[in-house]
Amino acid sequence: MSAADILQVRAGQNYLVEDFTRMERLRDDPVVLESLSRVAKEIGFDRVRPYVQENGSYKAMPDMPFSQWKNPYFVVDPPEPGDSFSIYQVPAGPEGRDFRYRSYEELQAAGLAVDRKNYELVYTAPLDGKTTLENIYRTFNADDRPADFRGHSLSVSDVVVINRGGKEEAHYCDSIGFTPVPEFMRESPIKTAEMSTEQNYNMIDGTLNNAPSMGELEARAKAGEQISLFDVAEAAKAEDKKPKQTRTEAKTTQRQKKPSIRAQLKAAKEEQAKKPPQREKSKELEV
């Protein structure tokens, strides 16, 4: 049997070891070549140490980036149209100080999660056939980063999302290498709850908005029901969050209705003030 190394990690980079090219049995074995294709796709090679044949013997050449190597042996699955990678970073500001530049282990120790709501998308680009996470890290850590990249250099706490064939996988830039973070791609539990409880999709905004609307509160007031000031405040907040067109229409409708809730509450208080105070029941028994 023949055996040969195909991948070695040196200084944090994945090297394709070309020893197999000097072994005819391995070089022509479809199982070996298929395995190399899978490793290239699922793990990725960063550099390669090629050999050239001279005078009947093999001579090792200086190593080079895998993306520059003319690979005549195995196919690296080309990306499909729409395949891409995206970079997410914690925005500047005090809100992100608990998440920014912390290793995954530190986040877990602090009881924190890699939550998408704490990040902003700073860059997206198509995948090429030989893009790897380490290649992305080096590219966006160099001084000559792409001109349209507006984030800071790729650092610990950043997240890289690989979209291949419609499947997205998130990877946390850790103190050493990358850590898979599938939780980054999960739906917000609040949004999930909203999808099952809200009556229309216009109210899917990250907050459960099932409190009574202004219109409903006005109807209750007219019916003589007691209205909670808390409900009025919540309804006012909900009105403020509606799109401008919706708020304008709502205000037009409210102008046609009278009186408003606040006016009704004020009138009720004034009416109550006009009435004489009720006598307290005597605590003494009549003789």
Residue extents of the structural domains in the chain: 7-68, 84-185, 199-271
Task: State the pLDDT at residue 57.
Answer: 81
Query: What whole-number percentage of the chain has pLDDT above 90?
Result: 24
Residue 273 has pLDDT above 60, yes or no: yes
Span 85-98, mean pLDDT?
92
Using CA atoms, how far apart are residues 194 and 217, in angstroms rounded to an integer? Answer: 22
Distance CA 188, CA 107 (A): 19
pLDDT digits (tens, 9 = 90+) for 32-74: 877 888 888 788 888 887 877 778 788 878 888 887 777 777 7
Strand pairing report for 57-60 and 51-54: antiparallel
Q: How far apart are CA 101 and CA 89, in angstroms?
A: 10
The reported pLDDT for the residue numbered 229 is 63
For the chain, the average pLDDT equals 76
Whether the predicted pLDDT of 115 surpasses 80: yes
Q: Which of 27-31, 38-42, 90-94 has the highest mean pLDDT?
A: 90-94
pTM (global) more than 0.85 = no
The torsion region of residue 213 among left (phi > 0), alpha (psi -120 to 50) and beta comes to: beta
**CA angle 83-87-91, nearest 5°?**
150
